[in-house]
Amino acid sequence: MSHFKAPPKKNLGQHFLTDRGIIEHIVHAVDPRPGDNLVEIGPGQGAITFPLLKKHGKLTVIEFDRDLITPLSEAAHGVGELTIVHKDVLQVDFDKLAGEGRIRLVGNLPYNISTPILFHVLEHCLHVRDMHFMLQKEVVDRMAAAPGSKVYGRLSVMLQAVCAVTPLFDVPPQSFNPPPKVDSAVVRLVPRDPAGIGIRDHALFEAVVRDAFAQRRKTLRNALSKQCTTEQLQAVGIKPEIRAEQLPVADFIRLANHLAAGG
């Protein structure tokens, strides 16, 4: 059995994937290997769940909707070993789920809370090997945006600072039930080696990025006036008159590290 029928709930932002070609594409992109610890966020009707379970034999899923727990469990009989964590994903401790190893995350993320989920997962990056998520295409565009782009912002910098972000393919609305009003896309995130990232103080880095983009029209001199002086910007080779959207990720890290070192 590939999946079961359950009416999508609007309040949970549920859009169930029904396109077999796209499902195969996702499973192929994930390419599970023996020994992988696979965790799916929001299995819904099991469109990705059961093809992954069939291929891999073992899967943990995190599902908040109580009405989906029993059907998921029953549909897994004879397919593979399915562990269901009935919880809000924002309350899940991914470090604990990973145990001694690292997990591989997969999910068609609920569109109404996709950004908070991404930030929550980032906090557990050390215990994540990679992530394959389906999100609104507009969010994926922001995640992967380069400096100078209109959509390059806080999400782009925070994600790219700690992960390699690769958009894989787009997914049209008719691939879902109900069809969302927007296009979707699948993205791969691979956490970088923390030693190579070199962020000294994550809270300070986050504050610098947040303030820099809080009012996009402002120059960095003005936007970051609470965080640093014009001299501190110049000390790391940043022009105070440019805007946040023009500053590469590496420069945000250099600035935050300079401030963390008392520079």
**pLDDT tens, 142-157?**
999 999 999 999 999 9
Q: Does 108 show up as a binding residue in the annotation?
A: yes
Q: Name the strand (E) or helix (H) holding 72.
A: helix 66-75
Q: Does 112 show up as a binding residue in the annotation?
A: no
> CB–CB of 128/121 below 8 Å?
yes
- Measured between alpha carbons, how far is 40 from 262 in angstroms, rounded to an integer? 42
What are the angstrom distances between the C-alpha of 110 and each of 50, 89, 159?
A: 19, 10, 18
Each residue of 185-205: pLDDT tens digit? Answer: 999 999 999 888 999 999 999
Which CATH number does 10-194 carry? 3.40.50.150
- Measured between alpha carbons, how far is 246 from 235 in angstroms, rounded to an integer? 18
Lowest-confidence region among 11-15, 18-22, 47-51, 178-182: 11-15
- Measured between alpha carbons, how far is 144 from 155 in angstroms, rounded to an integer? 9
Res 1 pLDDT > 60: no
Q: Does 130 show up as a binding residue in the annotation?
A: no
Is residue 178 reached through a cis peptide bond, with omega within 30 degrees of 0 on the bond before it? yes
Each residue of 75-124: pLDDT tens digit? Answer: 999 999 999 999 999 999 999 999 999 999 999 998 888 999 999 999 99
- Residue with structure tokens 């996009």? 216
202-260 CATH pick, 3.30.420.40, 3.40.47.10, 1.10.8.100, 3.40.50.880: 1.10.8.100
What region, left, alpha or beta, does residue 46 occupy, with left being phi > 0 and alpha being psi -120 to 50 degrees?
left
pLDDT bracket for residue 12 (50, 70, 90): very low
What the block records as the tokens of 107 is: 């999910």
> CB–CB of 199/155 below 8 Å?
no
Would you list the domain boundaries of the chain?
10-194, 202-260
**How does the average pLDDT of the chain come out, rounded?**
93
What the block records as the tokens of 127 is: 């215990």
> Do the domains spanning 10-194 and 202-260 agree at the CATH topology level?
no
Each residue of 41-53: pLDDT tens digit? Answer: 999 889 999 999 9
Q: Does 42 show up as a binding residue in the annotation?
A: yes
